[in-house]
Amino acid sequence: MGFLELRAPTALRSAMMAAGEPWDNQISLTGSSPLAILTSSHDSHPPLDHLVLLVFGAVLEVVCVSLPGYVIARLGHFDADKQKFLANLNVMLFTPCLIFTKLASQLNAEKLVELGVIPIIFVIQTLVSYFVSRVVGKCFGFNRRASNFVTAMGVFGNSNSLPISLVISLSQTLKGLHWDRIKDDSDEEVAARGILYLMIFQQLGQLVRWSWGYHVLLAPKDKYDEYADETVEEGRYGALSPDGSSETQGLLVGVHPDTVGIERPSSPTHTDDSAVYEPAGRTPVAGSSRHSPHESDDEGHDAWKKPTGNGVDGANGTLNQLEGNEEDLNRILSFPRIRNNDEAETPKGVKGLPVRIGRATRKYQARVTNYICDISRKTYHSLPRPVQALLSGIYSVCQRVYNFLWEFMNPPLWAMLLAILVASIKDLQELFFKDDTFVKTSVTAALRSSAGVAVPLILVVLGANLARNTQNHETVDPEEKEIGKKLLVASLISRMLLPTLIMAPILALFAKYVPVSILDDPIFVVVCFLLTGAPSALQLAQICQINGVYEGVMGRILFQSYVIWILPSTLVLVMCALEVLEWAA
């Protein structure tokens, strides 16, 4: 049967065989007690006690992989910088390999059309979570900032680390997830389809999370008019350090901070870079005074002529030091860094040949670039004004589109596009995934080895994120201290309770009456239910740290949702999904 054919009711005998129960051994539920109904076998899942054990095993697997990261972080060996590095490494390398190997091997041109139902379900889930969180925020009497925080917690659920791990675990434990439309469906193929569905939901969520969520729902405090007076006072007097002293050097009326003559100690002569700090935006030059990059060109040239602290003429002394080191000068002026006084010069002879060749190549490239720019500029100015305006408009539009694409695109999304390309071309797909081909035994095997690291690494970082001592609690917001518990309760209700109660009937109606074959795939229904009650996304903690939005409450939300409520929530969601599959069959 083709993937695009309309969904037909699944035979009851097939459903029972998929559930692992013989047809003749099914007991009648007519006239049975409620306890017998709960403990008996349904058409699509085993008895409740056995189902609880299976779901508990799947959740426990996630906990066991995440626990080492939590313990290591609590011991102080897994700080925020290391977590960020591993998370970025996973996003840049291992997760794209996982997406490519799973999607490119499962997709084809026909399946891509059926996946169009996923954005529709995503929009419905987002709208339901939005209105639910808004109502909850009004019931708790939150102001605009707190209400936006609750909305962000309710709208943006985790569609990456936890659901992927649960789908992989459930595909190996629940035998009723095999799809009767696919011949010889295996646990591995079930997991691959589940990851495919999750990746599409994830990319849609990423788009909304880092646009609307970052700039509106979790915006900094100074973006709200109700906090205008408070932020003005903080900017005027500066943030208070733990000892109560102001961190800002008193701001005088009408005097810019950069113009205040503050005596700075001279740089040490030793080579320890860690002991030397240069503020961002400054250009450190050995033996010369520092100047702001905002100064004009004339002021910059005059600065070279000013005498240094040791009485040496600034122009001659600096030029002598930088003679033959144009590369170092360009690098210093382009990006602030620490330059040691005793930095070694370019080696002579063969050892310094690569450096000199690279320097000459860059000079030649700069000259060619300048020559092309000069010709283009002269040609542009020689054109009529209407043509210039048209070209300027086209260039502006192309530049905006280019910038938008590079800001929106990320390695997982590039991997998804590449997987779609490979899956759409049958010969290319066979080249990568057909048995005994050279590409499969080399490139594909390497990609699958890297893909195997993605999920465990995600869970280890998840455990580290849950360690409270890795959260930043140096500054305590009085408002957060006052309404923190209310924010915690409202966020959990808006994310893990009310959306599930509303979306469950909607998903059931979709599965029974919408004539799309993908809705007959058991793992797709399970994925949809897991996403309706999934905990808040981990990336929200990163956004809260960047914008300074209720960081302490964010840490408590992650701990409660990922540690306390994850087992009962997952059990209820999986049971609802299996009951919907049985009802829709």
83 and 185 belong to one structural domain = yes
What's the average model confidence in pLDDT over 422-440? 89
> pLDDT tens for residues 499-511?
999 999 999 999 9
Region 473-490: mean pLDDT is: 82
What pLDDT does residue 42 have? Answer: 54
Distances from the Cα of 434 to the Cαs of 103, 431, 489, in angstroms? 15, 6, 51
For the chain, the domain total comes to: 3
Q: Give the model's pLDDT for residue 119.
A: 92
| Claim to verify: residue 453 and residue 571 sit in the same structural domain | yes
Q: Which domain holds residue 374?
A: 354-408
**Considering just the CA atoms, what is the radius of gyration of the chain in Å?**
30
Among the candidates 377, 393, 408, a domain finishes at 408
CB 447 within 8 A of CB 102: no
Other Cβ atoms less than 10 A from the Cβ of 219: the count is: 16
Each residue of 150-168: pLDDT tens digit?
Answer: 999 999 998 877 888 888 8
9 lies in some domain: no
**Spacing of C-alpha 93 from chain mean position:** 13
Scanning 8-116, the segments in alpha helix (DSSP H) are: 12-18, 34-39, 48-74, 80-89, 95-106, 109-114
CB burial readout 304-339, b (16+ within 10 A) else e: beeebeeeeebeebbeebeeebeebbeebeeeeebb
What is the C-alpha to C-alpha distance for residues 113 and 108, in angstroms, rounded to an integer? 9
Residue 288 and residue 205 in one domain: no
- Same domain for 427 and 305: no
Residues in the chain: 585
What is the distance of C-alpha 312 from the center of its chain? 52
Shared domain for 144 and 190, answered yes or no, is: yes
Our measurement of the distance from residue 234's CA atom to the centroid of its chain's CA atoms, rounded to an integer in Å, reads 31
Which residue type is seen at 492? L
Arithmetic mean of pLDDT, 467-472: 56
CATH no. for residue 195? 1.20.1530
Scanning 255-324, the segments in alpha helix (DSSP H) are 297-305, 314-322
> pLDDT (tens digit, 9 = 90+) per residue, 259-295?
444 444 444 444 444 333 333 333 333 334 444 444 4
Query: Mean pLDDT throughout 362-375?
Result: 89
Q: Which of 79-93, 219-233, 407-421, 518-532 holds the top average pLDDT?
A: 518-532
CA distance 570 to 56: 9
Task: Please give the model's pTM, rounded to 2 decimal places.
Answer: 0.62
**106, 193 contact by CB (below 8 A):** yes
Whether residue 72 is found in the same domain as residue 142: yes
**Domain identity same for 452 and 326:** no
Do residues 447 and 370 both lie within one domain? no
> Is 379 in the same domain as 466?
no
Nearest to 214 by CA among 471, 546, 557, 552: 546
Name the residue with higher pLDDT: 269 or 514.
514
The first and second tokens of residue 428, run together, are 């290319």
Q: How many C-beta atoms lie closer than 10 Å to residue 344's C-beta?
A: 6
CA distances from 505 to 131, 259, 394, 529, 579 (A): 17, 65, 49, 11, 11
